[in-house]
Structure 1
Amino acid sequence: MIVELISVGTELLLGNIVNTNAAYLSEMCARRGLSLYYQTVVGDNWERMAETIRTALGRSDILLITGGLGPTEDDITKEVVAQVMGRRLLEDKHTRERIQAYMEAYAASAGLKEIPENNWKQAQIPEGARVLDNENGTAPGLILDDGGKHVILLPGPPEEMRPLFEEQVYPYLGELSQEVIVSKMVKLCGIGESSVAEMAADLIAAQSNPTIATYAKVGEVHLRITAKAETEQEARKLLKPLVREVKLRFGPYIYSTEEKGTLEGSILDLLNDKGLTLVTAESCTGGMLASRIINVPGASEVLKAGLVTYSNRMKRKYLGVKKSTLKTDGAVSEKTAREMARGGCEQTEADVCVAITGIAGPDGGTEEKPVGLVYIGCCAAGKIKVKRFQFTGGRAKVRSQSVSAALTLLRECVLEQYYHS
């Protein structure tokens, strides 16, 4: 089935808000095995929105429309869809009661005396629509089926849209398909996208069912293997040989085969299984590495401390970096990264330390040490490994790449010293 995404909102057209919903929904549609051929962004204009919806209905089976379901005057998605599809708007008692309960709780916490009148607009539902309860806001999702066409309306805020999509829309899309689709994600680190493409070239060239697709992330490459069949058992049977072959080819680089698996989560599992503790020592990344790790539930069992030693004085005070090293080699050097990694373990008595020092830019670079130069060191079981990187891009990109590279080196050292030694 052909699906089309329509993102509603003038703020999206003007670039005031990044359209993260489109990227998310595109990936989820691919996971469901739907053919996504078109994406459109349209402003809060009745005529242009109506034209966009009519065009989409003429060429696609499923329309996923996000945004424009709020209580303000320019939130007109529901009204336009109702007009295009020839439906009346009727007040839905269930939705009104949910809005009232939600707004009463909000009003009490915000000190409001009454519910704003415009919120009741959200209880108006196109006739015959299926209502999708929104547990995180007042705008419900909606599904309208008409002559083999399926129009799905979702709220714009990602924190409302994603849970609603995953819990109610994604299963519904599965019901529409006559085939069962099963996919397996294989996540890699420590290898570039071009190398992955080269190693998997014959598999990609020969693909039919199952298919294999690569997705480049910052410091990672993900492989999605997807099979279609009449039953789940048949689809999994088709999937198995290709998954096995991918694991054989990329074994050392695979950190997870779980859909929601993360690199930092897999590293914490490795450390936790051996009863090891970790400390991070950061300069140019300013705590981003520690933040990635702390985002994982249960991180407190492993992470002892996250040190941000931005100045040379703090590197000396908290990590024991030698004054002579900073003077002769500089803060951004192989030797400083080595001493930061060693000092992190010594000062905190942690088993493992990963350290980052570099020049994120846009200023501070020289011909000898340009912007993007980063040294990352890791101390594990008393052994220290340091790697030099020359990243490209702006400040944010350099810092993000540094964190991903640090996690990859950390995983490499933990495996070498505690699992493969």
Structure 2
Amino acid sequence: MREYKAEIVAVGTELLLGQIANTNAQWLSQQLALYGINVYNHAVVGDNLERVEEAFTLAQKRSDIIIVTGGLGPTEDDLTREAFQLISGMEMEEHKDSMDKIKLFFTNQKREMTPNNRKQARIFKGCTVLVNNAGMAPGMKMELDGRIWFFLPGVPREMKQIAADGVIPYINELTGNKQMIKSLVLKFIGIGESTLEHTLKDLIQAQSNPTIAPLAQENNVVIRLTAKEASEDRLDALLKNTKLKILDRVGDYFFGEDDQVIEQVVVDLLKKRSMTLAAAESLTGGMFTEKIVSVDGASEICPGGIVCYDTAIKRDVLGVSGKTIQSKGTVSKECALEMADQVTKLFGSQVGISFTGVAGPKEIEGEPVGKVFIAIRDVKGYQQVESFLFTGNRNTIRKRACLKGLEMIYNYLK
């Protein structure tokens, strides 16, 4: 089967400014992958005729299938048609059915149609019109020197409707649906990207199908497996076999797949064990508890937590002994263990976790910026305290402490 190179070009200055996310390209890439179409390039270009023309010229040179979203509206900065006309020389005309639909819309709304709305009904002569049942401007499909072009509105609901009705059926026919692409994301915590990659070096070097791609994300390290096959069952078998080989080496650090996040896994484990968790937070300032309660159903396992940033709150509200604070300090393993113990008693939970340390900007009690103690205590007498020296700015240190706490609780529950 011929391999088609696809490209998605999104037109709109608002995308470049970050005012909206380019979810259209993400969705289209996912759909094309189901039919074995590789998307080699995503392009985003602002509402400037010269730059849109340049983007289209480049796409015409390097891609077999080009899907353009946006720039089909009624205003002067909607320049998709004009840019494509410059590279193709194709003539445009008004599409009667689309124009009738636009007129009817304004009639039904009892509003006067401004002349610029006629622009939305303009199409290229000889194109295949893709009916827009969710809006006004129709989509278009055409060929230019062997390249296949699709033009879709930028409004997601309109884009998805036209793509589902007009683009995907064509892609299915083009490929014969003989090959599918499917990805599986494996998530790991407590192991660095370089260590993970080194441990799996031979598997990565020998990869073919599925491909194995280690990736670093803000809160964890992931491996993305991508397989190509003719059926869903064969895809799943390929992915499963490769996953098992990977977990045989680094399974101790594995916590979930695809959209799973570590806080969700922790909450699920607490529910499974019928346990509750409370947190005493100094430098993290409630960040850990916020992560936990962001998960649906967290009320079943989290009775509450306390932000004990001030020394007096640690002593007078949480109940850490004044002797410990005076002799060992608030940034110490002894204080962290008492905090975890006291929060368990205060909230009647089965397990408690505590965070105390120095987020910055200056040292505290002789301890450097980034020094953090995290402790876990449970009602059966288990206790664990770890010290860390995190780098980064104030908020980075707090985030890393929170993530490490989630890792420690996960390993405790596991």
TM-score range, shorter chain: 0.7 to 0.9
SS of the residue corresponding to residue 3 of structure 1 reads strand
| Aligned partner (choices 365, 368, 371) of residue 370 of structure 1 | 368
CA offsets 1:191-249 (integer angstroms, 9 cap, x no match): 22112111111110111112111121234221222221222233333333222212222
Partner of 1:49: 52
**Contact 2:281 / 2:355 at 8 angstroms: preserved in 1?**
yes
CA offsets 1:388-418 (integer angstroms, 9 cap, x no match): 2222223333233222211111101122xxx
| Distance verdict in 2 for CA 1:195–1:48, change over 3 Å | same
**Contact 2:15 / 2:22 at 8 angstroms: preserved in 1?**
no
Larger mean CA deviation between 336-345 and 114-123 belongs to 114-123
Larger mean CA deviation between 1-10 and 201-210 belongs to 1-10
Alpha-carbon distance in 1 for matches of 2:339, 2:171: 51
| Distance verdict in 2 for CA 1:116–1:197, change over 3 Å | farther
Q: CA deviation at 1:384?
A: 2.2
Q: Does 1:247 align with 2:247?
A: yes
Give the TM-score of the pair, scaled to structure 1: 0.76
CA offsets 1:168-209 (integer angstroms, 9 cap, x no match): 599779746541223322221122211211111111011111
SS of the residue corresponding to residue 377 of structure 2 reads strand
Number of aligned residues: 396
Partner of 1:199: 199
Structure 1: gaps spanning 5 or more residues: 105-112, 416-421
Alpha-carbon distance in 1 for matches of 2:114, 2:63: 37
Corresponding letter in the other structure for 1:253: Y
1:225-244 maps to which residues of 2 (within 5 A)?
225-244=225-244
Structure 2: gaps spanning 5 or more residues: none
Q: CA deviation at 1:25?
A: 6.8
SS of the residue corresponding to residue 336 of structure 2 reads helix
Q: Does 1:61 align with 2:55?
A: no
Partner of 1:286: 285
SS of the residue corresponding to residue 285 of structure 2 reads coil
**Contact 1:184 / 1:226 at 8 angstroms: preserved in 2?**
yes
SS of the residue corresponding to residue 50 of structure 2 reads helix
Partner of 1:334: 333
Q: CA deviation at 1:115?
A: 10
Q: CA deviation at 1:371?
A: 2.7
Partner of 1:414: 413
Q: CA deviation at 1:287?
A: 2.8
CA offsets 1:32-53 (integer angstroms, 9 cap, x no match): 6654544444332111112212
Give the TM-score of the pair, scaled to structure 2: 0.77
1:21-40 maps to which residues of 2 (within 5 A)?
28=30, 35-40=38-43
| Distance verdict in 2 for CA 1:370–1:343, change over 3 Å | same
**Contact 1:64 / 1:154 at 8 angstroms: preserved in 2?**
no
**Contact 1:329 / 1:335 at 8 angstroms: preserved in 2?**
yes
Larger mean CA deviation between 271-280 and 172-181 belongs to 172-181
**Contact 1:319 / 1:339 at 8 angstroms: preserved in 2?**
no
Partner of 1:320: 319
| Distance verdict in 2 for CA 1:45–1:237, change over 3 Å | same
CA offsets 1:139-165 (integer angstroms, 9 cap, x no match): 989564535524364648xxx589959
Alpha-carbon distance in 1 for matches of 2:70, 2:309: 42
Which structure has the greater CA radius of gyration? 2
